[in-house]
Amino acid sequence: MPDSAPILTKQDMARCIGRLAESIRDSCPGDELALVGIYRRGVPLAERVFTLLKSHYQSLLLGRVDITLYRDDLKNLEMMPKLVGSDIPFDLDSKHVILFDEVIYTGRTSRAGLDELLDHGRPKQVQIAALIDRGGRELPIHADFVGEKLQVAPHQRISVCFEEVDGEDAVYVREGGRR
Protein backbone atom coordinates (compact mmCIF):
# COMPACT_ATOMS: atom_id res chain seq x y z
CA MET A 1 0.00 0.00 0.00
CA PRO A 2 1.10 3.62 -0.45
CA ASP A 3 3.48 5.23 2.03
CA SER A 4 1.26 8.29 2.44
CA ALA A 5 -1.77 8.60 4.68
CA PRO A 6 -5.14 7.96 3.05
CA ILE A 7 -7.21 10.96 2.01
CA LEU A 8 -10.32 8.91 2.91
CA THR A 9 -10.31 6.38 5.73
CA LYS A 10 -12.49 3.33 6.21
CA GLN A 11 -15.02 5.47 8.11
CA ASP A 12 -14.99 8.16 5.40
CA MET A 13 -15.61 5.51 2.74
CA ALA A 14 -18.50 4.06 4.74
CA ARG A 15 -20.08 7.55 4.92
CA CYS A 16 -19.62 8.04 1.16
CA ILE A 17 -21.17 4.65 0.40
CA GLY A 18 -24.04 5.47 2.74
CA ARG A 19 -24.62 8.76 0.87
CA LEU A 20 -24.62 6.87 -2.44
CA ALA A 21 -27.21 4.41 -1.14
CA GLU A 22 -29.40 7.19 0.26
CA SER A 23 -29.27 9.16 -3.01
CA ILE A 24 -30.23 6.08 -4.98
CA ARG A 25 -33.09 5.24 -2.62
CA ASP A 26 -34.40 8.82 -2.82
CA SER A 27 -34.12 8.98 -6.63
CA CYS A 28 -35.20 5.47 -7.59
CA PRO A 29 -38.55 4.51 -6.12
CA GLY A 30 -40.22 1.30 -7.17
CA ASP A 31 -38.94 -2.05 -8.29
CA GLU A 32 -37.11 -3.22 -11.39
CA LEU A 33 -33.84 -1.77 -10.03
CA ALA A 34 -30.55 -3.54 -10.77
CA LEU A 35 -27.11 -2.60 -9.45
CA VAL A 36 -24.21 -3.65 -11.69
CA GLY A 37 -20.57 -3.30 -10.66
CA ILE A 38 -17.66 -2.97 -13.09
CA TYR A 39 -14.82 -5.37 -12.25
CA ARG A 40 -12.62 -4.92 -10.21
CA ARG A 41 -13.44 -2.29 -7.66
CA GLY A 42 -16.89 -1.29 -8.90
CA VAL A 43 -18.06 -4.74 -7.81
CA PRO A 44 -17.45 -4.38 -4.05
CA LEU A 45 -18.93 -0.88 -4.25
CA ALA A 46 -22.12 -2.22 -5.87
CA GLU A 47 -22.25 -5.09 -3.37
CA ARG A 48 -22.04 -2.73 -0.40
CA VAL A 49 -24.73 -0.43 -1.76
CA PHE A 50 -26.86 -3.52 -2.49
CA THR A 51 -26.53 -4.56 1.17
CA LEU A 52 -27.68 -1.10 2.30
CA LEU A 53 -30.64 -1.00 -0.12
CA LYS A 54 -31.98 -4.55 -0.25
CA SER A 55 -34.45 -4.02 2.60
CA HIS A 56 -35.96 -1.02 0.73
CA TYR A 57 -36.75 -2.87 -2.51
CA GLN A 58 -38.88 -5.92 -3.08
CA SER A 59 -36.67 -7.32 -5.84
CA LEU A 60 -33.33 -5.52 -5.98
CA LEU A 61 -30.91 -7.24 -8.38
CA LEU A 62 -27.10 -7.40 -8.42
CA GLY A 63 -24.78 -8.11 -11.34
CA ARG A 64 -21.18 -7.67 -12.47
CA VAL A 65 -19.61 -6.72 -15.81
CA ASP A 66 -16.11 -7.35 -17.09
CA ILE A 67 -15.07 -4.58 -19.51
CA THR A 68 -11.74 -6.09 -20.55
CA LEU A 69 -12.81 -6.69 -24.15
CA TYR A 70 -14.45 -3.26 -24.39
CA ARG A 71 -11.44 -1.17 -23.35
CA ASP A 72 -10.12 1.30 -25.91
CA ASP A 73 -6.54 1.03 -24.63
CA LEU A 74 -5.86 -2.71 -24.97
CA LYS A 75 -3.17 -2.28 -27.64
CA ASN A 76 -1.32 0.20 -25.39
CA LEU A 77 -1.12 -2.10 -22.37
CA GLU A 78 2.06 -4.02 -21.59
CA MET A 79 0.12 -6.90 -20.05
CA MET A 80 -3.39 -8.04 -21.00
CA PRO A 81 -5.79 -7.77 -18.05
CA LYS A 82 -7.25 -11.01 -16.74
CA LEU A 83 -10.66 -11.75 -18.25
CA VAL A 84 -13.07 -12.53 -15.42
CA GLY A 85 -16.34 -12.64 -17.34
CA SER A 86 -19.59 -10.84 -16.69
CA ASP A 87 -22.26 -12.16 -14.36
CA ILE A 88 -25.72 -10.76 -14.98
CA PRO A 89 -28.07 -13.54 -13.84
CA PHE A 90 -31.27 -11.67 -14.78
CA ASP A 91 -32.94 -10.10 -17.79
CA LEU A 92 -31.91 -6.45 -18.21
CA ASP A 93 -34.84 -5.55 -20.45
CA SER A 94 -37.05 -2.88 -18.87
CA LYS A 95 -34.84 -2.61 -15.76
CA HIS A 96 -33.53 0.58 -14.24
CA VAL A 97 -29.78 -0.16 -14.04
CA ILE A 98 -27.17 1.66 -12.01
CA LEU A 99 -23.62 0.98 -13.20
CA PHE A 100 -20.95 1.25 -10.47
CA ASP A 101 -17.27 2.16 -10.70
CA GLU A 102 -15.00 3.30 -7.89
CA VAL A 103 -13.65 6.40 -9.69
CA ILE A 104 -15.02 8.35 -12.62
CA TYR A 105 -12.35 10.31 -14.44
CA THR A 106 -12.17 10.38 -18.25
CA GLY A 107 -15.45 8.52 -18.75
CA ARG A 108 -13.79 5.74 -20.75
CA THR A 109 -14.38 3.00 -18.17
CA SER A 110 -18.05 3.97 -17.92
CA ARG A 111 -18.33 3.94 -21.72
CA ALA A 112 -16.87 0.43 -21.83
CA GLY A 113 -19.23 -0.64 -19.04
CA LEU A 114 -22.22 0.71 -20.95
CA ASP A 115 -21.14 -1.16 -24.10
CA GLU A 116 -20.82 -4.44 -22.17
CA LEU A 117 -24.10 -3.84 -20.35
CA LEU A 118 -26.03 -3.19 -23.59
CA ASP A 119 -24.76 -6.47 -25.02
CA HIS A 120 -26.82 -8.15 -22.27
CA GLY A 121 -30.12 -6.44 -22.97
CA ARG A 122 -32.00 -3.19 -23.32
CA PRO A 123 -32.51 -1.52 -19.94
CA LYS A 124 -35.24 1.07 -19.51
CA GLN A 125 -32.68 3.44 -17.98
CA VAL A 126 -28.98 3.36 -17.08
CA GLN A 127 -27.36 5.66 -14.55
CA ILE A 128 -23.79 5.76 -13.28
CA ALA A 129 -22.63 5.72 -9.66
CA ALA A 130 -19.06 6.37 -8.52
CA LEU A 131 -17.48 6.48 -5.10
CA ILE A 132 -15.13 9.26 -6.28
CA ASP A 133 -15.61 11.85 -9.04
CA ARG A 134 -12.28 13.46 -9.83
CA GLY A 135 -13.39 15.46 -12.87
CA GLY A 136 -11.37 15.55 -16.09
CA ARG A 137 -13.82 13.97 -18.55
CA GLU A 138 -12.73 13.14 -22.06
CA LEU A 139 -16.16 11.77 -23.00
CA PRO A 140 -19.60 13.32 -22.39
CA ILE A 141 -20.38 10.98 -19.50
CA HIS A 142 -21.20 11.94 -15.92
CA ALA A 143 -21.96 10.14 -12.69
CA ASP A 144 -25.55 10.48 -11.52
CA PHE A 145 -24.64 9.38 -7.99
CA VAL A 146 -21.34 10.38 -6.35
CA GLY A 147 -19.99 9.60 -2.90
CA GLU A 148 -17.25 12.27 -2.91
CA LYS A 149 -15.80 14.82 -5.34
CA LEU A 150 -12.03 15.20 -5.14
CA GLN A 151 -9.76 17.61 -6.95
CA VAL A 152 -6.31 16.28 -7.78
CA ALA A 153 -3.69 17.31 -10.31
CA PRO A 154 -3.85 15.65 -13.75
CA HIS A 155 -0.57 13.81 -13.09
CA GLN A 156 -1.94 12.32 -9.87
CA ARG A 157 -3.98 9.17 -9.54
CA ILE A 158 -6.81 8.26 -7.16
CA SER A 159 -6.35 4.76 -5.75
CA VAL A 160 -9.41 3.24 -4.05
CA CYS A 161 -8.83 0.16 -1.92
CA PHE A 162 -11.54 -2.23 -0.77
CA GLU A 163 -11.02 -4.92 1.86
CA GLU A 164 -12.48 -7.50 -0.51
CA VAL A 165 -9.80 -6.81 -3.14
CA ASP A 166 -6.93 -5.01 -1.40
CA GLY A 167 -7.18 -5.99 2.27
CA GLU A 168 -8.15 -2.49 3.46
CA ASP A 169 -10.70 0.27 2.92
CA ALA A 170 -8.97 3.53 2.05
CA VAL A 171 -8.52 6.10 -0.71
CA TYR A 172 -5.05 7.37 -1.61
CA VAL A 173 -3.61 9.91 -4.02
CA ARG A 174 -0.58 8.61 -5.89
CA GLU A 175 1.85 10.38 -8.14
CA GLY A 176 2.08 9.47 -11.81
CA GLY A 177 -0.05 7.57 -14.26
CA ARG A 178 -3.66 7.89 -15.24
CA ARG A 179 -6.57 6.34 -13.43
The per-residue pLDDT for 179 is 42
What are the b/e assignments for 32-55, b being 16+ CB within 10 Å?
bbbbbbbbbbbbbbbbbbbebbee
* 131, 103 Cβ separation under 8 angstroms: yes
Residue 72 lies in a domain: yes
Residue 17: its H or E element: helix 10-27
The per-residue pLDDT for 177 is 58
The per-residue pLDDT for 109 is 92
Q: What is the CATH number of the domain that holds 119?
A: 3.40.50.2020
Residue 4 lies in a domain: no
The per-residue pLDDT for 119 is 92
Residue 71 lies in a domain: yes
Residue 3 lies in a domain: no
* 46, 178 Cβ separation under 8 angstroms: no
Residue 2 lies in a domain: no
How far apart are the C-alpha atoms of 68 and 123, rounded to whole Å?
A: 21
How far apart are the C-alpha atoms of 149 and 110, rounded to whole Å?
A: 17
Residue 5 lies in a domain: no
Residue 123 lies in a domain: yes
Structural domains in the chain (count): 1
Q: Which residue stretches of the chain have pLDDT < 70? A: 1-3, 71-83, 177-179
Residue 134 lies in a domain: yes
Residue 162's domain comprises: 10-175
